[in-house]
Amino acid sequence: MHGSKQFRIAVIDGQGGGIGAQLVEQLALALPAGKAEIIALGTNALAAGKMLRAGANEAASGENAIIFNAKRADLLVGTLGMLMPCGFSGEMTTAAAEAVSSAPVPKYVLHLNRSGVEVIGKLQEPLPHLVDLLVNKVRELFAEQWGQLERPRSAGVVAGGKTTGPTP
């Protein structure tokens, strides 16, 4: 931990922020409110805003925001593009990718092959299953550092294909 009272998870995404928003939404449901803080870091304002609307506690965008916050988080989460210069279709700068990859915290990475890099030995699963696997790993890490987890919040009633939000 970095002296904060909450477990700080930085979710990093670019372009439209859709994958980051899925991660934020599922993490917000899976972790106890008040004990975990989700920081949305977008390579652009659109990505950061979409993750904020998905339930992040705060959001920031751009190279400097990623560099500054990568070392302040307890965990970095995103796709392979967050570790690569020119990831996210060129939006991830070399300095931001270096800050993420060299941050002295765990990094949980989805292996989506959008950067031209194929990870050998990975599971061939649809994105929702990969998000579930990542969220479960975060819950395990949280439990190791903070103790027993409370029962996760459940998604709200599905209306028109969208969840209505967490239920108490």
DSSP 154: B
Question: Which residue ranges form the domains of the chain, and what is each CATH number?
Answer: 7-163 (3.40.50)
What was the pLDDT predicted at 53?
Answer: 97
Decide if 38 contacts 67 (C-beta within 8 A).
Answer: no
What was the pLDDT predicted at 150?
Answer: 61
The Cα–Cα gap between 133 and 158 comes to 22
**pLDDT by 10s per residue, the chain, length 168:** 445 588 999 999 999 999 999 999 999 999 988 899 999 999 999 999 999 999 999 999 999 999 999 999 999 999 999 999 999 999 999 999 999 999 999 999 988 766 677 777 777 788 888 889 888 889 888 888 877 666 555 444 333 344 444 443
Is this structure's pTM higher than 0.95? Answer: no
Angle at 66 between CA 62 and CA 70, to 5 degrees: 175
DSSP 48: H
